[in-house]
Chain A
Amino acid sequence: DVKVTQSSRYLVKRTGEKVFLECVQDMDHENMFWYRQDPGLGLRLIYFSYDVKMKEKGDIPEGYSVSREKKERFSLILESASTNQTSMYLCASSFSGTSGTKQFFGPGTRLTVL
């Protein structure tokens, strides 16, 4: 079974703090993604990476950065957390095979910024 793990299920931080969200996948997938999920807005893509050290902006990259130093690990960084970044953060990894692209999600990190 593919496993995508996220470092924390719940996190509380203060405005202005630097926040690191870690994601690890164990299936050697090339593509990894970070989303945030907010009520009424669905899932919105923040950043994705299709290879080590490669990254692409998603729909809402402002206020975030990412790091992918190893294939299995994709980190989301909030340089200076703000209250509007309170959200559920979901990491995912995917591979493309003959039957299509399958994407697998981690359990999510619920971040609260006070």
Chain B
Amino acid sequence: QQQVKQSPQSLIVQKGGISIINCAYENTAFDYFPWYQQFPGKGPALLIAIRPDVSEKKEGRFTISFNKSAKQFSLHIMDSQPGDSATYFCAAINNAGNMLTFGGGTRLMVKP
């Protein structure tokens, strides 16, 4: 049973466009929501994260939007670049940090 559902599984975006990846969770014990970026042959790297007390967090071209009532959060990549092509994972973590669940991943390809 997947506690964090991520969509789409793959995404193709034109250079300069906006990439949007969505995640939904079920367990209300989660209170920290990170996004990871993974390039081929590398381990996932923390990209940006949000806590449920804010509705949006922005770091450069990357923005997380969070809807606590709907238990949904999304990653927006503005002005997408070919170098953003990677697999992106959302995750949800509980307060103690010992219950962590990943979404299934989204393979993003940004066309030049």
User: Which candidate, A13-21, A62-70, A76-84, A89-97, is the interface stretch facing chain B?
Assistant: A89-97
A40 touches B104 (CB 8 A): yes
* A31 beta carbon closer than 8 Å to chain B: yes
A106 touches B43 (CB 8 A): yes
A92 to B44, CA, bound (A): 9
A103 touches B43 (CB 8 A): no
* B70 beta carbon closer than 8 Å to chain A: no
A40 to B34, CA, bound (A): 20
Interface, chain A (partner B; CB < 8 A): 4, 31, 33, 35, 40-45, 48, 50, 56, 90, 92, 94-96, 99-108
Using A44-B102, A105-B44 as known contacts, list a sample of 10 further A-B pairs with CB atoms less than 8 Å apart, ordered by residue number in A.
A43-B44, A56-B98, A95-B97, A99-B51, A100-B34, A101-B32, A101-B34, A103-B91, A108-B41, A108-B42
* B95 beta carbon closer than 8 Å to chain A: yes
Residues of A within 8 A of B42 (CB): 107-108
Name the residue of chain A whose CB is nearest to the CB of B33: A100
A33 touches B46 (CB 8 A): no
Residues of A within 8 A of B51 (CB): 99-100
